[in-house]
Structure 1
């Protein structure tokens, strides 16, 4: 038997966007419920040092997310450790079904399910994640000041990461499995002109090499995509830059998406194509992908939701005459 509850504001996702939305939603007396999802805390839980969070010179990623959860809970947010498996946005109140059997209906929904970096799926890649293997140069590039690093990929993401890393690293080696890049020409021009950059063509990463005590990367094994031969190259950091995948599976057939699956929001807001549904953080952001920008969007989403609920009152409650939902939601 399912456990059904109703909330004014349902927040799905527990990264910086979700927890910040929860803080602002609770302060607005909306009594929000936040469902954490598969990875409570989001991508920051696999990050080590965080040095770009305002007011904190340094903090571990998991510790920062614990503090954000504690803040949201202290403000009055109901935090649920569960996973939403189905979300029906066709009627208001909206309906979320969870893995545990819990059913939640809500007058407004904030989606903060984030995006995840695409990985190669190597065992050694997994072993050294956060200890020399990263998917975010702007997050971790500072730690490689004066050190050689590798960037794996050939699109805009890879070239942008490589160029950013030249500000810190002594040398940046871009490894691409083809003989030409897929990035924009202007980015390629900047890359080829940078004296710190070397490109290794027609090779792919097959193994991350490193030490166990302390855990850290020392280099990589590359394999030729032409003849299968292998080569070793040294490096203190390896950045996997083969793109990001927004976690939009729940809404891919219900909300307007763009740029490969990111939820589209109206300019200057967090409003989606369905009234009463808002989106924040990396789920919508294919450009910045920073914790602080996600948190800012979480604030915006809560304020947008507060304004929507104030305007619509109890819209979506069952119609007393017909016993049906009073409002059918259509995309704007």
Structure 2
């Protein structure tokens, strides 16, 4: 059953002008695009909705070297290859910020964006996650004026200057190593006495003479001259000493938050907001699936998102087939 866009039908005495698809996917990261590939290849009408450019956080990654099939590839280049692949079987792509998602008693999902209304029986949530903020004085004031969450986007503005990277996980160390190619010095500030990043990333960073480490320390304020960042005020948790580290830029990588504001009312998230699924990517609401970084899981990588997407695309097809069986019985 292939549902036509702009389908007009009489429903309970009212004309329905919603755009209808077999499968709607919210989010165009690696998980969402893979789900679109699998669902559209099964001859389903598929719409991918995203509020920005396709690729998600791949667009903020300078170099991907742990995705099978590529020894090394730029994040935006991998995003473009996935996008072209996702649309080869006539899946459609549309821009839109989702305002609400409602589920009828019959299981029909209605998605309202800032400009359109869509309906589907199978919904795949691939909205991903976003970087946490420190929540300290100066962070909001100097956002975009020295405070950044994306080294690939903003690193070139700090060429030959000193910068700070806050965090100790994979993202912090990967982006710190990227920044070291262009800035004068990278000062990694970490609240613990050892990193959480993968060992291979740690080894590269420790061997880089332009990367320095400040341990057992937190940033308590971002300072500036009113126009741009001039330094960070840091607090050593062991000595209790506060000091100001002069830097021109601050790159913050302290963890992720799920982007699930529009689905929490559906009862499919845990207390932190991560979506709970089974191994078929099914949530507790029939016909709603979740993939990628928005799921509650341990490893959030491009490869795992792609795996999630392939499962969800196939399971969406199976779900729609089960609805046909019910209708025939």
Q: TM-score, normalized by length of structure 1?
A: 0.70
Residue in structure 1 matching 2:215, options 199, 224, 233: 199
Match of 1:252 among 237, 242, 264: 264
How far 1:48 moved relative to its partner?
1.8
Root mean square deviation of aligned Cα: 3.7
1:20 aligns with 2:39: no
Moved more, 248-257 or 284-293: 284-293
Seen in structure 2, the aligned counterparts of structure 1 residues 127 and 304 have a Cα distance that, compared at 3 Å, is closer
- Contact in 1 for aligned 2:128/2:293 (Cα 8 Å): yes
Task: Give the C-alpha shift of residue 71 in structure 1.
Answer: 1.2
Give per-residue Cα distances to partners, 1:138-168, cap 9 Å, x unaligned. 69639839x7855445489x95238774332
Q: Would the alpha carbon gap of residues 164 and 150 (structure 1) be closer, same or farther in structure 2, given more than 3 Å must change?
A: farther
Q: Secondary structure at the match of 1:160?
A: coil
The answer for the alignment partner of 1:305 in structure 2 is 316
The 1:287–1:5 alpha-carbon spacing in structure 2 relative to 1, beyond 3 Å, is: same
46-55 or 118-127, which moves further after superposition? 118-127
The two structures have a TM-score, normalised by structure 2, of 0.71
Match of 2:295 among 284, 301, 305: 284
C-alpha displacement at 1:270, in angstroms? Answer: 0.4
Contact 1:2–1:103 (CA under 8 A) maintained in structure 2 = no
- SS of 1:108 mapped into structure 2: strand
**Distance across 2 between alignment mates of 1:14 and 1:153:** 32
2:151 to 129, 132, 146: 129
Are 2:174 and 1:141 aligned?
yes
Q: List runs of 5+ in structure 1 lacking aligned partners.
A: 173-195, 209-219, 317-332
Deviations 1:65-104 (A, max 9, x none): 122111111121011122221111244211001111x111
Q: Structure 2: any 5+ residue segments left out of the alignment?
A: 1-14, 156-162, 225-229
- Within 5 Å, which residues of 2 pair with 1:38-77? 38-77=52-91
> 1:153·1:241 contact (CA, 8 Å) conserved in 2?
no
Q: What is the alpha-carbon distance in structure 2 between the residues aligned to residue 134 and residue 42 of structure 1?
A: 22
Contact map agreement 1:12 1:37 (CA 8 A) in 2: no
Report if aligned partners of 1:154, 1:242 keep a CA contact under 8 Å in 2.
Answer: no
> SS at 2:88's partner residue?
helix
Task: Specify whether residues 129 and 13 from structure 1 end up closer, same or farther in structure 2 by C-alpha distance, changes over 3 A only.
Answer: same
Q: State the Cα deviation string for residues 158-211 of structure 1 (Å, max 9, x = none).
A: 952387743322279xxxxxxxxxxxxxxxxxxxxxxx9751435446379xxx
The question of whether the paired residues in 1 share the 8 Å contact of 2:191 and 2:215 is answered with no
